[in-house]
Amino acid sequence: MFTGIIQGLAEVKSISKIRSNNKSADTKLCINLGGKLKGDLKVGDSLSINGVCLTATRISKTVDFEIINETMNRTCLGLLKAGDKVNIERSLRLSDRLDGHFLLGHVDGVGIIKKIIKSPIQTKVWIRIQNKKLMSWIVPKGSIAIDGVSLTITDIEDKDKMISVALIPHTLATTTLTLKSIGEKVNVETDIIGKYLSRHLPIK
């Protein structure tokens, strides 16, 4: 479990298809976490990589993650290439402060950045949600994770499947969202509470 408070950025060293008859995953992602983020990391530990919960499978100077097709199809990880920066969050400890909101790292779908409006105090980003079903899980002033970053929804336009989020300068300075441009895709995880409510009290 995660909170959406990004702890640092890391560099993708490589991403490649696993070519083996005995493979249990389809893609290998290799990331240079650096000493601070790697810390006491062990094989089997979970990390949020751009909002996707992945398991460390090999640790050396870099860290390897193996990814199945379901994850590749549901997220933007397949668009990564060597040299790209990614948002990193280690899993939540019970003794940690909860500064963001509860995240599972189970991405619901993908959004496309349609508009970026900058001002001195904030940057508003408009995102089109590709899967219309996700809109029923999104509420004004509710929580959402964009590439693993815990954010508050500021506007919703149901007809166009559009939402907006406001980024303060600190968020831009400490996450990959500052690198994003119009037309780029982002991972979207909606609030877990909304998903459970929608499941048991479906909105018609």
pLDDT at site 195:
83
pLDDT at site 85:
97
Q: Rg (Cα) of the chain, in Å, rounded?
A: 17
Tens digits of residue pLDDT in 29-77: 999 998 788 888 999 999 999 999 999 999 999 999 999 999 999 999 9
pLDDT at site 23:
64
DSSP H stretches of helix in the chain:
34-38, 69-74, 169-174, 192-200
d(C-alpha 133, C-alpha 58), whole Å: 36
pLDDT at site 41:
93
d(C-alpha 65, C-alpha 25), whole Å: 10
pLDDT at site 199:
76
pLDDT at site 122:
93
d(C-alpha 107, C-alpha 27), whole Å: 17
Evaluate whether 152 touches 141 at the Cβ level (below 8 Å).
yes
**Main-chain phi, psi angles of 92, to 5 degrees:** -70, 135
d(C-alpha 22, C-alpha 170), whole Å: 45
User: What residues in the chain have per-residue pLDDT under 70?
Assistant: 20-24, 202-204
Length of the chain: 204
Q: Which residues contact 200 (CB under 8 A, 6 or more apart)?
A: none
pLDDT at site 21:
66
pLDDT at site 95:
77
